[in-house]
Amino acid sequence: MKLPSIHLLPAKEKAIKRGHPWVFSGALSKHSVKPGEWAELCDHNGRFLAMGFVEPGSIAFKIASREAYQPEELIRLRIERAIAFRRKAGLLDRKDHQICRLFFAEGDGLPGLVIDAYGIHCVVQFHSRAVFHYRHLIAEILAEQGFPNVFSKSRESLHDKGIEDSYLLGGKQEDVFLEYGLKFKVDWEQGQKTGFFIDQRENRRLIGTLSKDKKVLNAFSYTGGFSIYALAGGATDVVSLDSSAKAIELAHENAVLNGYESKHHGVIQDAFEYLKDMPSDFDVVVLDPPAFAKSQRVTHNAVQAYKRINSMAMEKMPAGSQLLTFSCSQHISRELFTSTLRAAAIDCGRSVRLVQHLQQPLDHPSNLVHPEGEYLKGLWLQVD
């Protein structure tokens, strides 16, 4: 089937030819293709440039391929390649490891699609109606790849209350999974995102190496991922801090699952309030807040929030303590986040050493010309 064509305005090909997968509305000539429909993108003379789909809003077209494909053919190709990459990287088919991001939107060549694997279950989040249209095909491909239980969780991501989150195939067979041998209960049906923040896997592992005989604070803890790794690494006392009672309940359940309940303490409180009077004996502090900047227009406010929480923590941390601090805001660049932490250190008058930059793991790849995909920024700091 021939896809409809959309044309760029004159002199608007430069960003497209550099490889960026987004086309803004001001670069397109008038067309009749509706949001959620697939189309070919052509220059103003009608020469084929790419194929993809139309979106509502300022990002009006998302590129899925520089070559011509039928959507069904391309979707299968992209998913099979993404899973093969993760198998080759050793992230799948392991006895000690059952949690992995199978597909990461632009980073795996198809905007609008995120797939997380928990054992033989997949949770699929659609961020585009054009890809959502092929949800049953995607479920079939995943079943062929060894994931017979597929849950679509897209009501929130598509901003449509008429969509029900539901199983496209199979159902829930278990809810406790291993990450590097540690047990985590995952609630993808009711929990945030797909139920677990897979992108912090390697940073959680790092916390485990820093926590022996240490007292650890895990702020914005959600279900306690960092906390469990700290306990497994030999921490003497771990505090999980979150404003959600349900999150703290699940964090403690994860501590019980792993046999660390006696050293784990949950605190239900706003992190900003807790940090005002934070005890000054935490050897390791993790600050992993939700995205403070969900749009470009609130970047300034987000920077002030990051500066404030980090300054509050640094001020009370003992000399020689470790701070692992993160931003998952797409609109906060690595450079801006680093300069914000520099300002926080100056404000509280502490000497702070940058030990290492931290980032998302290899199952969250980004397109080199799409820096927006590098959303997770972290710093390992030593407070002296």
Tell me, what's the pLDDT at 296? 65
Residue 331 has pLDDT above 90, yes or no: no
Task: For residue 25, give both structure tokens.
Answer: 């509305």
Residue 256 has pLDDT above 90, yes or no: yes
Tell me, what's the pLDDT at 294? 64
Task: Determine the average pLDDT of the residues in 251-263.
Answer: 97
pLDDT tens-digit map of 33-90: 999 999 999 999 999 999 999 999 999 999 999 999 999 999 999 999 999 999 999 9
Task: For residue 9, give both structure tokens.
Answer: 């305005």
Tell me, what's the pLDDT at 292? 81
Do residues 54 and 32 touch, judged by C-beta distance below 8 A?
no
pLDDT tens-digit map of 286-307: 999 988 856 666 788 889 999 9
Tell me, what's the pLDDT at 88? 97
Residue 238 has pLDDT above 90, yes or no: yes
Pairing status of strand 284-287 against strand 38-42: unpaired
d(CA 381, CA 354) in angstroms, rounded, equals 5
Tell me, what's the pLDDT at 14? 83
Question: Which residue ranges make up each domain of the chain?
Answer: 5-65, 71-179, 197-383
Residue 81 CB partners (closer than 8 Å, separation 6+): 108, 109
* CATH label, 5-65, candidates 3.30.70.141, 2.30.130.10, 3.40.640.10, 3.90.1150.170: 2.30.130.10
Tell me, what's the pLDDT at 300? 86
d(CA 148, CA 132) in angstroms, rounded, equals 19
Fold of 197-383: Rossmann fold (3.40.50)
Residue 127 has pLDDT above 80, yes or no: yes
Q: Which residues are catalytic?
A: 328
Task: For residue 129, give both structure tokens.
Answer: 């109606």
Q: Kindly report the three-state secondary structure assignment for every residue of the chain.
A: CCCCEEEECCCCCHHHHHCCCEEEHHHECCCCCCCCCEEEEECCCCCEEEEEEECCCCEEEEEEECCCCCHHHHHHHHHHHHHHHHHHCCCCCCCCCCEEEEEEHHHHCCCCEEEEEECCEEEEEECCHHHHCCHHHHHHHHHHCCCCEEEECCCCCCCCCCCCCEEEECCCCCCEEEECCEEEECCCCCCCCCCCCHHHHHHHHHHHHHCCCCEEEEECCCCCHHHHHHHHCCCCEEEEEECCHHHHHHHHHHHHHCCCHHHEEEEECCHHHHHHCCCCCCCEEEECCCCCCCCHHHHHHHHHHHHHHHHHHHHHCCCCEEEEEEECCCCCCHHHHHHHHHHHHHHHCCCEEEEEEEECCCCCCCCCCCHHHCCCEEEEEEEC
Phi-psi region of 47 (alpha: psi -120 to 50; beta: other; left: phi over 0): beta
Instruction: Band the pLDDT of 15: cuts 50, 70, 90.
Output: confident
Do residues 118 and 129 touch, judged by C-beta distance below 8 A?
no
pLDDT tens-digit map of 346-369: 999 999 999 999 999 999 999 999
Fold of 71-179: Transcription Regulator spoIIAA (3.30.750)
pLDDT tens-digit map of 168-223: 999 999 999 999 999 999 999 998 889 999 999 999 999 999 999 999 999 999 99
Task: Determine the average pLDDT of the residues in 235-244.
Answer: 97
